[in-house]
Amino acid sequence: MADYVVPTVRALKAYSWEDSSEKIAKAYGLRPEDVVRFDMNTSPYFLAEGLVASCAKSCANAIAEYPDASYSSLAAKLSEYAGCQQDELVICAGCDEVLDVAVKTFLGSNRKLVTSEPTYPMAEICASSLGNTVVRVARKKEAGYAIDENDFVEECQNANLAYICNPNSPTGNLEPVEKIIRITKAIPCVLFVDEAYFEFAGQSVAPFVRECPNLVVGRTFSKAFGLAGGRVGYAIASRSLVEGMEKVRPPNSVSSISLALAQKALEQKSSMQRNVMALAASRKTLCLRLESLGLPVFSSQANFLLADFGSVESAANACQKLLQKGLVVRDVSKKPGVEGCLRITIRKDADNERLAVELEKILTGSNEQKSKTQRT
Ligand SMILES: Cc1ncc(COP(=O)(O)O)c(C=O)c1O
């Protein structure tokens, strides 16, 4: 890598995604529309027909101008949804930008971030790029991936920012509100609670931002609202933390069209809630189906499941064979703490069943293969 790149960035491992649907379709002779994404934790439910086009149309006349940098009309609707005041919100281009802004505001450089492992890595990536020390407190499989409260609080005593993803990705487990608040009150730095999946879990620590002046809650329209391509996220925090974040936030990173889409999505809150309920039912069905194939599945409060394939090789083999059928799952099998596991996003029942049928073939195929080898 070129010497122009700062050493802290040169040392980073690039965040990697599965290939695009077009690339996968081309590689395996499929039509792009036959590729189903079980890897991004996005929603299979879209905004009502015609809404995207009508939002684009409503912005057409003003598209030569920047959006109102305070995003005030979205903030007004969002404050109702989030149960806070408008000046307790920071709106950004996705929760990833919220994380970036929080790291710049509360951590800076050459200081210390405490996170956990396994978890969503973006806070760590932002922090490392600025030359910070990162400490990962282990989430142990035998504890259902719960955070060890004492270890976490102790590590935070000389830290400048702490990060907890709740429900956690890629494991899907949820920490109780009381535990998160106890941690917030016991540490001397800001705690960023990433609630990207909170609509699926039905609980939030957002009502505590006034009581806890060091609490920042990050959220997104990418998951339950089905707006990942729109790129809208937000933070909820006390006014003094918001004031700091507002100094760092890029003023126009959310496009006029995305602002209009997010407002429409909030107007359709009840259909989002119906979709969340449908996905919870589909999660249960898929979980039972995977368990019936002999795969241990971890309890999840989000729109995905973590399934244990027993070894890195079995997981990689299943992943590759599913890919050939256009079924893209998230391979986390080489990551510490979730070795041998694949993360599977819940989609509509028909697609979930398509996945289960293919997995059944793969798993019985490999069992037959094993018993044949044992016989010979
Ligand atoms: C836990 C978590 N936080 C944040 C994000 C990023 O969300 P956004 O699309 O709003 O940037 C994701 C995306 O997968 C996520 O899983």
Given a cut of 50, is residue 376 above it in pLDDT? no
Please state, for a pLDDT cut of 90, what percent of the chain lies above it.
Answer: 91
Q: What are φ and ψ of residue 169, in 5° steps?
A: -115, 135
Report which ligand 1 atom has the smallest distance to the Cα of 233: 10
| pLDDT one-digit tens code per residue, 212-252 | 999 999 999 999 999 999 999 999 999 999 999 999 999 99
Condensed to tens digits (0 to 9), the pLDDT of residues 158-170 reads 999 999 999 999 9
Sorting pLDDT into bands at 50, 70 and 90, what band is 92?
very high
- How far away, in angstroms, is 104 Cα from ligand 1 center? 18
Which atom of ligand 1 is least distant from the CA of 40? 14
Q: How confident is the model at residue 172 (pLDDT cuts 50, 70, 90)?
A: very high
User: What is the average pLDDT value for the chain, to the nearest integer?
Assistant: 95
Ligand 1 centroid to residue 169 C-alpha, Å:
9
- Ligand 1, atom 2: closest residue by C-alpha: 196
Tokens representing 40 are 């991004």
Q: How far is the CA of 95 from the centre of ligand 1 (A)?
A: 6
User: What pLDDT does residue 368 have?
Assistant: 60
Q: What is the pLDDT of residues 266-325, one digit of tens each?
A: 999 999 999 999 999 999 999 999 999 999 999 999 999 999 999 999 999 999 999 999
Position 49 scores a pLDDT of 79
Ligand 1, CB cutoff 6 Å, lining residues: 41, 94-96, 120, 165, 169, 194, 196, 220, 222, 228, 233
| pLDDT given at position 372 | 57
The rounded Å distance from CA 194 to ligand 1 centre is 8
Is 340 or 49 the better-scoring residue by pLDDT? 340
Output the pLDDT for position 373.
52
Task: Assess contact for 172 and 299: CB atoms under 8 A.
Answer: yes
Q: What is the largest CA-CA distance in the chain?
A: 73
| Ligand 1 atom closest to 95 (CA) | 10
Per-residue three-class SS string for the chain: CCCCCCHHHHCCCCCCCCCCHHHHHHHHCCCHHHCEEECCCCCCCCCCCCHHHHHHHHHHHHCCCCCCCCCHHHHHHHHHHHCCCHHHEEEECCHHHHHHHHHHHHHCCCCEEEEEECCCCHHHHHHHHCCCEEEEEEECHHHCCCECHHHHHHHHCCCCEEEEECCCCCCCCCCCHHHHHHHHHHCCCEEEEECCCHHHHCCCCHHHCCCCCCEEEEEECCCCCCCHHHCCEEEEECHHHHHHHHHHCCCCCCCHHHHHHHHHHHHCHHHHHHHHHHHHHHHHHHHHHHHHCCCCECCCCCCEEEEECCCHHHHHHHHHHHHHCCEEEEECCCCCCCCCEEEEECCCHHHHHHHHHHHHHHHHHHHHHHHHHHHC
Distance 273 CA to ligand 1 centre (A): 19
Does 106 have pLDDT greater than 90?
A: yes
Give the integer Cα–Cα distance in Å for 73 and 79: 10
Residue 209 has pLDDT above 80, yes or no: yes
Ligand 1 centre to CA of 372 (Å) is: 44
Average pLDDT over residues 352-376: 78
Rounded to 5°, angle at Cα 139 from 281 and 166? 45
C-alpha 96 – ligand 1 centre gap (Å): 6
Q: Which of the two residues, 181 and 369, has the higher pLDDT score? A: 181
Nearest ligand 1 atom, CA 94: 10
The pLDDT value recorded for residue 46 is 87
| Mean pLDDT, residues 176-181 | 98
Residue in 16, 18, 42, 95 to alter for ligand 1 test, most ligand atoms within 8 A of Cβ: 95
Q: What is the pLDDT of residue 369?
A: 56
